[in-house]
Copies of this chain bind each other. A is one copy, B any other.
Amino acid sequence: MTAADGTVSRGRAADAVTAALEAQISSGALAPNSPLPAERDLMEQFGTSRTVIREAISILANRGLVESKPRFRPVVRKPDYESALHAVSGVVRHLLADQGGVKNLYQSRLFIERALVREAAVSADKQDIADLKQALAANQAAISDSLEFYRTDTAFHGALYRVIRNPIFPAIHEGYTAWLAPHWSKMLRSPERNAMNYRAHEAIMNAILERDPAAAEAALTEHLNAAWEHVRVTFNIDKL
């Protein structure tokens, strides 16, 4: 087969189509949130069979550049850090099922957040502080409502991932939230436990306000370790 640039591809024609569509997405010719052209149009546009068109779309879907629900037109997605996380989610499922997978992931989260609270204590600006305070207040207000508490709990930790101005970190937070959620949901939520977790958040907040990175890191570490220990002993997931 002969590609547009004249090179002979002995391997996959789909790769050429994939690259072309990638380019059209990057250049904005295919706007985000707009549906992809119909497969039969694409096969005319690229002069190939539907087979290769479909394979190309499949590749783009797994790359996170388009979102394809069965029976629906694939929708173009701007490649952002969330879609990158979405792309790994398939493998992550296997890793979590593996021995120690959940523990490894949780440990990495602890490690990251330790560094984040330290960073927050050292260099959070007024806006960061305001965001954290607001998230904390919302968390306090939700102590009696376990479902809402979980949401605000996640939001508070999420605020931590935003003190460092880097879109990679909020995406990482979303990853942790999504992948660890099944195990967090196991946690027996109660107003008492919620209150305990809120106090832990408060301690972290105070350490940040006092610009004490060591105290912030210590508070965060104890908070996450306590949560882990609770899940661990309650559900005996040591081997996970």
Q: Which residues of A are at the interface with B, using a C-beta cutoff of 8 A?
A: 10-12, 22, 26, 51, 54-55, 58-59, 62-65, 70-71, 79-81, 83-85, 87-88, 90-92, 94-95, 97-98, 104-105, 107-108, 111-112, 114-115, 118-119, 164, 166-169
Contacts and interface: CB of A to CB of B under 8 A. Distances in A.
Given A104-B168, A115-B111, A169-B108, A91 B79 contact: yes
Contacts of A167: 104
Given A55-B55, A108-B169, 18 more contacts: A10-B71, A11-B70, A11-B71, A26-B94, A26-B97, A58-B58, A62-B62, A62-B63, A63-B90, A65-B94, A79-B98, A84-B92, A85-B88, A87-B88, A87-B91, A108-B166, A108-B168, A115-B118
Contacts of A58: 55, 58-59, 62
Nearest to A108: B168
Given A108-B168, A164-B111, A12 B91 contact: no
A232 B115 CA distance: 26
A97 to B, nearest CB: 7
Contact of A59 (B51, B62, B88, B168): B62
The quantity of this chain's copies bound in the complex is 2
Contacts of A119: 111
A84 B91 contact: yes
- Central interface residue in A64, A84, A90, by most chain B CB within 10 Å: A90
A70 B12 contact: yes
A91 B83 contact: yes
Contacts of A11: 70-71
A79 B95 contact: yes
A94 B10 contact: no
- Central interface residue in A71, A94, A95, by most chain B CB within 10 Å: A94
Contacts of A168: 104-105, 108
5 contacts: A55-B55, A62-B62, A104-B166, A108-B168, A112-B112
A217 to B, nearest CB: 10
Contacts of A164: 107, 111
